[in-house]
Amino acid sequence: MTSAEWPVYQVFERPAPERPLRAAGSVHAVDSDMALQNAWAVYGRRPTAVGLWVVPRDRVLMKSKEELAGFSPRLEAGTDREQTYCVFRRSGAKVVYEQATSVLATNAEQAMARAVEQLAGEDCQACWVFPAAALISSEGVGGECSFAPQQHKWFRDHKSFPVGALLRDARAHVEESDDDA
Amino acid sequence: MDQQTRVAAFEARIARGETIEPGDWMPDEYRRQLLRMMSQHAHSEIVGMLPEGEWITRAPSLKRKLVLLAKVQDEGGHGQYLYDAAESLGATREELIAALHSGRAKYANVFNYPVPSWADVGMIGWLVDLAAILNQSMLAKCSYGPYARAMLRICSEETFHKKQGQEIVITLARGTPEQKAMAQESLNRWWWPTLMQFGYPDSESPHTATLKRWGVKTKSNDELRETFIREIVPELRLLGLEPPDPELRFDEASGRWLHSPIDFDELKRVVNGDGPCNAARIGARIKAHEDGAWVREAMLAYSSKHELSEAGA
C-alpha cells in the first residue's frame, strides 16, 4: 500500500481578480480536498494567486500541436447528457496554458473537437479540456476565495531588499574615503 | 516516417522557436537528457533546503527567521514544480525519489558543503542563487514546455533569494570588523564550489552542442561561469570582500576575466557522493521519507475508507 502513488491533480491559478485562470502545475493527493490544500501550500505562497482550481489529471484530455494535427474525434452521438467543459490552450510564443473558453459536449473528445472548431483561426499551439463538474475550486459563487491570498507579505516585496541602493551607498562611502586620502 | 525524417521535422520545429509538449514526438536522447536535467534540478531544490534549514532556529532576528523560512519553503515548492515537469516524461515520483536516495540520481555539488556560520546563509543566497538564476533564466526559454513553465515560476522567486542573501552579506561587510571577517571567511569557502556549480568546462561537456541545437541550452557552462564572475566580482570588491584567487583579474586586452584553474576533480568527487556532507544530506532525506511513511499510509487508508462509505451511501 505504501508504494501506491497518490493520484495527480492539475492545478490552475487566478493571477488577479477577474483575470482568466492559467495552469500552474500539479500536485499529488489522495482526494480533491487534499489536492486543493496541497495546491495552496505549493502554488499559493506567492502574492499573485487569488484563486486556485484543481482537477484530477485523468479527467483532463491533453492534445499537443502534433496530436491536434492528426486528431479525428469519435463524434458518434452518445446517450450522455451534454455538460460544460473548460478549455485551456497555449497560444503564440507563450508557454503557459490559459483559460480560453468553455464548450458544451457529451464527452471529452467531442469537447476537444468543439474547442478546436471554436478557436479556429486563432492561434492554438496545444489544448486541454476537462469537465467543469470535475473541478474543485477555492472560489465561491461570489468570487470570494476560501484561503487568504498572500498579498501583504513584506518578504515577498522587492522593496524590502533594496540592494541596489545599499550598493550605491557603499560606493559613495568608498569614494568619500578615497577623497580623504 | 523514418527516424531521420522525424528528427529533421523535430529540429525544424525547434529552429522555428516552437515549444515541445509531452504528446509531441521527440528523439530518445532529447527525452533522456531532459529527464536527467529535470531530476537533478528537482533533487537540488529539495536537498538545498537542508543546509539553510539548519539556520532557521538560529537566525539572528525574527525578520531574518521569517525571510529564511519563506526561502526554504520556496525551495520545497521549486522541487515540486520540477518533479511535476519530470513526471511529464513518464517518470514517477517514487522512482525519482528512490534514485536520489540510492545515490543514482545526482544533485548540485554546493549543497554538500557545511554551513558553520550565519554569513553562509547570506553567501548561499547571493552566490549560489545568482549562479542558479543565470542557469535558470536560460532554461526558462528552453524548448520543452513543462521545463520552461517550471523555470518561469522559479526565476521570479529566485530573484528574491539572491537579493535576500546579498542584503545579509552587505550588512555584514559594512558592519563591525568581526562581521566583515565572517563574511570574508564565508566567501573563501563558497567561491570555488559556486564556480564548480556551473559544471564541467566546455571541453569536457560532450552534450552541449546537441543541447544547444535542440534549444535546451542556449549558453555553455563556461559562458555562464564567466557571466557570473563579471557580474559579482565588482560588487564583492565594492564591499571590500575578495574572492580567494590571487590570479583573478580583468584582462583589458581580451575583455575577459582570468582566474586560476578550477579543481574539477573536486567537483567530480563531490557530485559522486564523496563531499564533506553528502552522507548527512542523503541520510536526512531518507529519514524524512521514512518518518513520513505512516502519514502517507494513513492518508491512503482514509481515502479508501472514504470511498467505501461513499459507495455504500
Residues B166-211 have pLDDT tens digits of: 999 999 999 999 999 999 999 999 999 999 999 999 999 888 889 9
For testing the chain B interface, which of A8, A155, A160, A175 should be mutated: the one with the most B CBs within 10 Å? A155
pLDDT higher than 60, residue B46: yes
| pLDDT at position A154 | 80
**Predicted local confidence at residue A54, as pLDDT:** 96
For residue range B91-117, what is the model confidence (pLDDT) as tens digits? 999 999 999 999 999 999 999 999 999
* Torsion A14-A15-A17-A19 (CA) sign: negative
Instruction: Find the CB nearest A156 among B19, B160, B297.
Output: B160
Subunit contact B306:A5, Cβ cutoff 8 A:
no
Query: In this structure, is residue A120 part of a structural domain?
Result: yes
**CB contact (8 A) between residue A25 and residue B23:** no
- Name the H helices within chain B: 3-15, 28-53, 62-87, 93-102, 118-123, 129-139, 145-173, 177-197, 208-213, 221-238, 264-271, 278-291, 293-312
**By three-state DSSP, how is residue B245 classified?**
coil
Evaluate whether residue A2 is within a structural domain: no
- ipTM reported for the complex, 2 dp: 0.90
List the single best residue of B56, B72, B149 to mutate versus A (max A Cβ within 10 A).
B149
C-alpha closest to that of A95 among B222, B86, B278, B153: B153
The C-alpha torsion from B281 through B104 and A42 to B45, rounded to 10°, is 50
In one-letter notation, the amino acid at residue B106 is K
At residue A147, what are phi and psi to the nearest 5 degrees? -120, 160
pLDDT category of residue A1 using cuts at 50, 70 and 90: very low
In angstroms, the CA B56 to CA B50 distance is 10
What dihedral angle (degrees, nearest 10) is formed by the CA atoms of A38, A40, A43, A49?
A: 160
**pLDDT class for B151, splitting at 50, 70, 90?**
very high
Chain B residues whose beta carbon lies within 8 Å of the beta carbon of residue A63: 23
CB pairs under 8 A between A and B: 114
Cell numbers for A116: 478546436
Phi, psi of A89 (to 5 degrees): -145, 165
Assigned domain for A96 exists: yes
Task: Answer whether B131's CB lies under 8 Å from A43's CB.
Answer: no
pLDDT, residue B22, reads 94
What mean pLDDT is reported for chain B? 95
Eight-state DSSP code of residue A57: G
Distance separating alpha carbons of residues A12 and A57, to the nearest angstrom? 12
**Contact at 8 Å (CB) between B149 and A90?**
no
Query: Who has greater pLDDT, A123 or A166?
Result: A166
Q: Using one digit for the tens of pLDDT, what is the confidence trace for A14-63? A: 988 889 999 999 999 999 889 999 999 899 877 678 899 999 999 999 99
Residue A71 has what pLDDT?
85
Cβ contact A155–B66 (<8 Å): yes
The mean per-residue pLDDT over the stretch A110-119 comes to 92
Mean of pLDDT values over B142-163? 94
Q: Is residue A3 part of a domain?
A: no
Domain spanning B3-276, CATH architecture? Up-down Bundle (1.20)
Is the pLDDT confidence value at A2 over 60? no
What confidence category does residue B71 fall into, taking pLDDT thresholds of 50, 70 and 90?
A: very high
Could you tell me if A172 lies within 8 Å of chain B, comparing CB atoms?
no
Distance from CA of A26 to the nearest CA of B (A): 6
Residue B107, pLDDT score: 96
Mean pLDDT of B296-303: 89
Nearest by CB: A163 against B18, B21, B163 = B163
Contact B23 A64 (CB under 8 A): yes
Q: At residue A144, does pLDDT exceed 80? A: no
pLDDT of B313 = 54
Quick check: B164 and A155 CB within 8 A? yes
How sure is the predictor about A166, in pLDDT bands with cuts at 50, 70 and 90? Answer: very high
A45 touches chain B (CB under 8 A): yes
Task: Please state the domain count of chain A.
Answer: 1
Q: What is the pLDDT at residue A77?
A: 64
Instruction: At A140, list the grid cell.
Output: 465561491
Query: Is residue A1 domain-resident?
Result: no
| Domain assignment of residue A89, given as a range | 8-180
Considering only A80-84, A151-155, B243-247, which range has the smallest mean pLDDT?
Answer: A151-155
